[in-house]
Amino acid sequence: MRVLLWHVHGSWTTAFVQGRHEYLIPVTPDRGPDGLGRARTYRWPETAVEITRQEAAEAEVDVVILQRPHELHGLATEWLGGRRPGRHLPAVYLEHNAPQGRIAEMRHLAADRDDLVVAHVTHFNDLFWDCGSTTTRVIEHGIVDPGDRYGGELPAAAVVVNEPLRRGRITGTDLLGRLGAEVPVDLFGMQSGQLAGAPGVRSVNDLPQAVLHAEMARRRLYLHPVRWTSLGLSLLEAMHLGMPVVALATTEVVEAVPPEAGVISTQVEVLADAARRLVADPEQARLMGKAARAAATARYGLERFLADWDRLLDEVRAR
């Protein structure tokens, strides 16, 4: 198939474009948010092809993957020369995020539609979003396996959060100082330097994915202080690397991290104690990391992920 989708989430798209289709990726001269084109810090196959607005207007497209409200509300139609996803072309609205706001008001923008399918990346999201009569499917994440690279030689916790100040309590930025007072915390991600000076928190510049994985794997454990987002791909990548996990027991984390792979809790003191124990006990950390990798590769493997998407794309095109 020829699948049109915007480059919105780099890690997710990296896994998606590993499939057997041709992927049309919108590009604009400024490579802004609505035209990033091909990734520059991830490895994408040649079947991921950049397409301009003019080319998209005349392109043969089998399925459109929508990921943001303004794509559904006009952007995709503009790029496709007036063709409306759902009405003129088969479409999937891919929901990456957990809903924000009051539970009783968590209604999805694509609710009560019979012309597209909403695909959620976690069962938690499917549970909490109200999509009304719209058909929904859950396709859990898949990861391009970075390999078992765990060394754990640095007695510190790795954390990956992009834009930590802007996202604040959602990603648990306020907890990093409390946890950093117990064990050294190395913060990776875009604009991580904004937290310079937080107790025990050391900022690491935004790195290309291959370098990021190597540096994460040198740390003793992976810390996931996120309160309320969808299931972080950095958490699953850390587990694939063979890192033990210490994480808040919120959203889909309780499904992703089995007891033998780390410690999850809603009590910050419990997480701090677990981090201290793993920093002090490299062998326990190594054994938990092996269990984390086994769990992640079994549930979030790339082959399963691509097969699930193939089934959904076939279903949507048939509709």
Give residue-wise pLDDT tens across range 250-286.
999 999 999 999 999 999 999 999 999 999 999 999 9
* Per-residue pLDDT, 214: 95
**Under 8 Å CB-to-CB from 243, ≥6 apart: which residues?**
150, 152, 158, 216, 217, 219, 221, 222, 289, 292
- Is 24 among the domain residues? yes
Beta bridge partners of 25: 50
Per-residue pLDDT, 168: 83
163 and 293 share one domain: yes
Judge if pTM exceeds 0.75.
Answer: yes
pLDDT of residue 204: 80
Residue appearing with tokens 């086994």: 294
Do 127 and 187 lie in one domain? The reply is: no
163 and 284 belong to one structural domain? yes
Q: What b/e sequence results for 233-264 when a residue is b if at least 16 CB atoms lie within 10 Å of its CB, and e otherwise? A: bbbbbbbbbbbbbbbbebbbbeebbbeebbbb
Q: Do 170 and 239 fall into the same domain?
A: yes
Q: What range does the domain containing 74 cover? A: 2-142+302-318
Q: Per the domain annotation, does 210 fall within a domain?
A: yes
Same domain, 131 and 173: no
- Domain assignment present for 147: no
Helix (H, G, I), strand (E, B) or coil at 95: strand
Does a structural domain hold residue 135?
Answer: yes
> Is residue 148 situated within a structural domain?
no
Structure-token pair, residue 317:
């095109």
48 and 164 in a single domain? The answer is no
Let me know if residue 251 belongs to a domain: yes
For the chain, which residues score pLDDT lower than 70?
A: 191-197
239 located within any domain: yes
Same structural domain, 95 and 175: no
pLDDT of residue 197: 65
Q: Same domain, yes or no, for 160 and 295? A: yes
Same domain as 290, residue 187: yes
What whole-number distance in Å separates Cα of residue 25 and Cα of residue 13?
A: 10
The total number of structural domains in the chain stands at: 2
Asked whether 175 and 199 are in contact (CB, 8 A), the reply is no
Residue 99 tokens read as 């809903």
Q: What is the pLDDT of residue 48?
A: 98
In the prediction, which pLDDT does 97 show?
94
Q: Are residues 232 and 309 in the same domain?
A: no
**pLDDT number for residue 194:** 66
Question: Is residue 91 in a domain?
Answer: yes
Does residue 174 sit in the same domain as residue 291? yes
Same domain, 189 and 105: no
- Looking at residue 70, which CATH number applies to its domain? 3.40.50
For 91, 159, 164, 229, 230, the CA distances from 167, given in Å and listed in that order, are: 30, 14, 5, 10, 13
Residue 257 sits in a domain of what CATH number?
Answer: 3.40.50.2000
Beta carbons of 115 and 134 less than 8 angstroms apart: no
